[in-house]
Amino acid sequence: MAGAPFELSIFSAMGCLQPGLLVSADLAKPQLRIRPTYSSLLAISLVTSLACVRAEREPPPSPPELHETSPTTVSELCAEPLRAWAVLGEGGAIVASTRGACLGRIEHPEDGSLWHFVAQLQAQHAPRPSWELHTWLDADGHPRHAEFRTPELVTRFAWRDGALVVRRLGDQLAIEDAADLWVTPSHAVYLRELMLRLGVGGDAAGMRQRGFVPERDAITEVALSLERLDHDHAQAHTGASVLGLDGADAGLGGLRISMVLANDAPIYRPLPDDSLAPFLPASPRPSYPTPDGLELVPIEMPGERGQPTLAGELVLAAGEAPARGRPAVLFLGGAGPQDRHGLVPDSPVDIGSHEIQDMLAAAGFAVLRFDDRGVGDSGIGDDPTPGFSALVEDGRRALATLAAQPQVDPRRILIVGHGEGALVASILAAEGTRARGRNHRVAGLVMLAAPGRNLRELVYDEIRASLAGRREGEIRTAVGRAQRVHDAALAGEDLPASSEGARRWMVEAFAEDPLARLAKVRAPILALQGAKDFQVSPERDFERIRAHVERHGADGSAAELLPELDHLFKPEPGVSTPGHYADLRRHVDAALLERVTSWAVQIAG
């Protein structure tokens, strides 16, 4: 065969024979240095054939499991645009949207550099979010702080020494073993995507993620089984839900939630959204929603001799006026500044007065309510530090104004007072008023959480209740400090600058005897008290009032202790505290509203 050419097949990259591709070599050329024999060519052919068979039987190496790939970093997540999904209802209709974005990096005084993420849920066509969660992550992707906001409530979270500390309305709860626990409200798809991409809860089996659901104060655990579908797509299974995922080619750190199915029905899909809704306030502010069927008539009560002009409104049932004058109610609020509706300025507290007032107006009463001095549209007058007698005079002017209204029958006026306002109401109820040239007695008096002792003693009880759970020495110190201020005020001595403005009120209010005032009332009395009240004692105040009403009250009088209600006559399932007053989810008890209204109708309607 010397000098004769022979043919070799060209092999593919896998070592497989490619038919029809031949190359000739002249074995006589010395530079090739090939001296094949027939047997050597056969051996080459057999080896090559075996390599081809093995390659056809062995699949290409599979990509690693998704949970074994590298997660992304917090800084990379923060560089990405807003993400949004539609929340789908029946038939695939959009009922809400859920979205989230990174707001950048901040410097925290205790935890250094943190990355600020925010997620929102907003009902379709709603003007503001239903909830909003702010989460601050450290550089390793661990949550350090969070704040869950709703229009009614704010809950704050902090991770400390492996525990999650939950603070809400003055209460605190510590959850141990919470290093990997995230705050995950309902529909928080953005948070779930962040947790996936950061590898939260990853282990050899997949991912097990723990979340604290603030709407229910419950801890949930989600087990995710990740599965690649092709080069770029994957899915995660958890119970009856399936998450469709894009970006699998980049591994765990590149995943994006493209759809969520529950029982084979889509419940989320991406939205082309590029903006967050205006943020909810860090401290909720209550507002008064005007109910249907009521008419609000502005009332102005000019002052004399340096008194302020008081602004208020007459609340009437809309529609045709009755043939004769309506029965009427004057409402007097409790201690501290508040507007005509019972909203405390610059605070999240809604006392709930408007719920009582509106119910009475809907029952046919003309209800007069007004802003306290220096609140809302009421002036402050020449004296910026009025005493208790000035507050009584404001109520006296309001009663005369109500009796003079053409819609009102001055013989059928009731006075409703709450807290300190109940003491003022008892003074006015004993006096009566003058209208249209005649003196008129009031038709009835409603006392809500009325003091039955000197107000000074109530102040000490309030201090003790507000410090419940503190050390006894700390409580005694606080009470002793208040007693020294009161003693100095009554003795005309110097007071701390912070107390000087209340000097006249202390001197005048501490001189009042609530039971002596009540003894002068000849009208029927309804006295109501919440059993969970820590400001006015059911034992030391209400029992005295109850005994007086039962022995000396006019026909139709009654006194009732209402279980599970606090000083605001709102249901209190636990222990009432000042912080709970800021819970805007609570409302005045429906049974209380019905009791006041039915009694008022019976007496004056």
What is the rounded average pLDDT of the residues 317-343?
Answer: 89
Q: How far apart are CA 83 and CA 307, in angstroms?
A: 57
Residues 6+ apart with CB under 8 A from 62: none
Inter-axis angle of helices 455-466 and 472-491, to 10 degrees? 150
Question: What phi, psi does 210 have (nearest 5°)?
Answer: -105, 135
Give which of 276, 259, 252, 265 is closest to 200, Cα–Cα.
Answer: 252
How much of the chain, in percent, has pLDDT values that exceed 90?
A: 77
Domain ranges of the chain: 5-57, 67-270, 314-452+514-604, 455-511
- The residue assigned the tokens 């001197």 is 507
Q: Output phi, psi for 294, to 5 deg.
A: -120, 150
Mean pLDDT of the chain: 88
Contact criterion met (CB below 8 Å) for 119 and 139: no
Residue 60: band (very low, low, confident or very high) from pLDDT cuts 50, 70, 90: low
**Is the pLDDT score of 12 beyond 70?**
no
Query: Does 105 have pLDDT greater than 80?
Result: yes
Q: Does pLDDT of 13 surpass 80?
A: no
Question: Dihedrals φ, ψ of 24, to 5°?
Answer: -100, 140
CB 521 within 8 A of CB 467: no
- Determine the average pLDDT of the residues in 327-344: 96
Q: Are 532 and 572 in contact (CB under 8 A)?
A: yes
Rounded Cα gap, residues 271 and 88, in angstroms? 11
Kindly report, residue by residue over 509-519, the tens digit of the pLDDT.
999 999 999 99
- pLDDT score recorded for residue 398: 97
Contacts of range 109-114, beta carbons closer than 8 Å, 24 or more positions apart = 111/136, 111/138, 111/144, 111/145, 112/138, 113/138, 113/139, 114/138, 114/144, 114/145
Kindly indicate the confidence band of residue 67, based on its pLDDT and cuts at 50, 70 and 90.
confident
**Short-list 398, 372, 400, 397, CA closest to 386:** 372
Residue 516's Cβ-count burial label (10 Å; 0-12, 13-18, 19+) is exposed
Select the more confidently predicted residue: 59 or 403: 403
**pLDDT given for residue 48 in this prediction:** 39
Over 80: is that where the pLDDT of 11 sits?
no
Question: In the prediction, which pLDDT does 24 show?
Answer: 35
Cα–Cα distance measured from residue 523 to residue 443, given in angstroms and rounded to the nearest whole number: 6
Report pLDDT digits (tens) over 555-584: 999 999 999 999 999 999 999 999 999 999
The domain defined by 314-452+514-604 folds into Rossmann fold (3.40.50)
- 58-to-15, 52, 465 alpha-carbon distances in Å: 13, 10, 77
pLDDT at 203: 76
What tokens does 248 get?
Answer: 């699998």
Distance CA(449)–CA(425), nearest Å, equals 12
Confidence band of 219 (pLDDT split at 50, 70, 90): very high
Q: How far is CA 213 from the centre of its chain?
A: 13
Average pLDDT over residues 577-598: 96
Tell me if 312 sits within 8 A of 301, measured CB to CB.
Answer: yes
Give residue 68's pLDDT band: very low, low, confident or very high (50, 70, 90): confident
Lowest model confidence (mean pLDDT) among 5-19, 436-450, 489-503: 5-19
Length of the chain counted residue by residue = 605
Q: Which two tokens stand for residue 292?
A: 């249907």
Q: How far, rounded to the nearest angstrom, does the alpha carbon of residue 124 sit from its chain's CA centroid?
A: 20
What's the N-to-C CA distance of the chain in angstroms? 130
Cα separation, 358 vs 603, in Å, equals 18
Per-residue pLDDT of 255-271, as tens digits, reads 999 999 998 899 999 99
Above pLDDT 70, what percent of the chain? 89
Find residue 329's DSSP bridge partners: 367, 414
The residues pairing with 104 across neighbouring beta strands, listed in sequence order, are: 116
Contact 310, 397 (CB under 8 A): yes
